[in-house]
Amino acid sequence: MNHLWSPWRSRYIESFSDADRNETCFLCDASKIDSQDPLLIGESELCIIIMNRYPYNAGHILLSPKRHCPDLLMLSEEEYHDLMVLTRIMQSVLVSTYAPHGFNIGVNLGVAAGAGVPGHVHVHIVPRWNGDTNFMSTIGDSKVISTSMEKIVLELRQNFNNVMNSTNAQRGTAL
C-alpha cells in the first residue's frame, strides 16, 4: 500500500482540536445574523456558504445548515433540501467563476470518517484541475494556492449573489 503524506494539513486538524476545547463552532458563529466573518460567501434561509480556512484548493468551500446539527439524518426535510440546492448552485458558481476540470463533493460524518467538525454537518466542495496535485505538498511540506482567499471570497460572493438575484427574479420569491 502506498501512503500519501500531507503534513501541511496538521495546522487544520489542530485548529479543530482547539475549537473543541473552547466549545465553539465556527459554523454557528458564521451563521449568526450579525456575523462579520470575512470568509462568509452567502446564505439562504436555512444554510450558509463559507470559504474553507484551510483549503485543499482555491475555491474549497463549505456549505452548512445554520442550525447546529451533527448528521444529515437529523436535518429537517427543508434544511436537507436547502443544503442540496445550495450545493448544486455553488457547483455552478464555481464552474462559471473558475472553470475547474472536476470536483470532490462530500460530507464526512463522524470523527472516524474524518469530520473536522463532527458536531455540525457540512458539505465540502473542492474544485479540481488536471495536475493540481504535485510534489509541493508531499515533498515541500507546502500547498500552493495561487489566489488570495480575499479575492476568492469576493468573486464567489458576487457570483453567488448574481445567481440568487437572477433565480429570485425568475421565481418571484426567495430560496
- Residue labelled with grid coordinates 454557528: 28
> In the chain, what is the greatest distance between 2 CA atoms, to the nearest angstrom?
55
Catalytic, 81? Answer no
Q: Where are the alpha helices (DSSP H) in the chain?
A: 10-22, 26-31, 77-98, 135-138, 149-171
CA 154 to chain centre: 15
The catalytic residue among 60, 120, 122, 124 is 122
The residue written with cell numbers 488570495 in the block is: 148
Distance CA 78, CA 81 (A): 5
**Active-site residue list:** 122
